[in-house]
Structure 1
């Protein structure tokens, strides 16, 4: 297990003084990388070998969002490695020891020279160690979208949205999708399914479907192919 303490900063909150939704995947993404660095298998190890861990899906369950100036503990640990896949849990614990957010993610060990899966070697994943799988209501990776999705916007992917691989940063999809949620909606679960990489220069067509208890936002290319889908469950 790897953990870090975070104080919720002014720049991390919205007008309600609660942590913005997209900060959750940012925190979890960052702590995953920090864990890899601490284990000696981070970017300095992976990059010369043309390897990277690419995210394929998130599920984030929210009991409550932390608020401005609150100090929380963010934790992560892998609970399984299978072939090219790594399975990780995450949680956020408040000062009273209560779990307020829990999550899991599926990562793909990838040869970025040809964008093909690369088998994780025992000498690599053994450096992390394994912990118990977190108890939560695990949903399938694939998000089943409604048949009718209305186009609500378009986004040109610029350097602002990109990560070090010149792909759209994983957290930015949640950031953009959050703009199309109902006003003052209380989100209790976020799911994201990453199907195709989005690169600098790509134009994404954003489609939405609003149901009674959830909102779907998906990202399509000019040809109508879906790249990333999101589902926000509303209390």
Structure 2
């Protein structure tokens, strides 16, 4: 112990020792296991979105909010008509249809300045700024432009730990490393309380949340966890989020 204390007084040795301590920390070890578990799950969001679109006939209309690199999802979506929205903060090439924030997009759409304000989408995928306030606004706006039998899909609704659910994306010195789900879960849980929509969360790809106005994919629940505390969410996530498998979703929707 005395030798360790002496070595900690020397900067290079201190960094090495502290690094080993960090890597052996139970929080770090457990979260690494959860990272590997989550990244091994399938299907990914693309397959779920395409499945939902496949039941809508030959002419389908799709909107994606928060594209980043379109090769990650947008380019693989099978819809006869599709549109993309992204301000280009994280992907400078930003080859999308509407280079703006989702707030600006919906404002211009409502004013009939882009597309047609009578447009209705079969699926709207929300994967933009992963902060609860913004996600909530995106859901509110999306509900105005989704078909009655359409679906709103959200990514990152089921963060494995509080480190994944941090508010600051750019802070990597946590056991979650670069993985980040933000506080999307709070917005989705808020809408789980709303009896005007049905909802579920497919337990894959960091949680793929789904909302529908008419398709009963899951009844709303009585409001719980009023302060949106992560520990309480973690202990009750299956019920709170209506976590289901992709096979169960196909059984319900199909």
More strand by share: 1
- Alignment TM class, shorter chain as reference: under 0.3
TM-score (norm 1): 0.24
Bigger Rg, which one: 2
TM-score (norm 2): 0.23
User: Using CA pairs below 8 Å that are at least 6 residues apart, which structure has the higher relative contact order?
Assistant: 1
More helix by share: 2
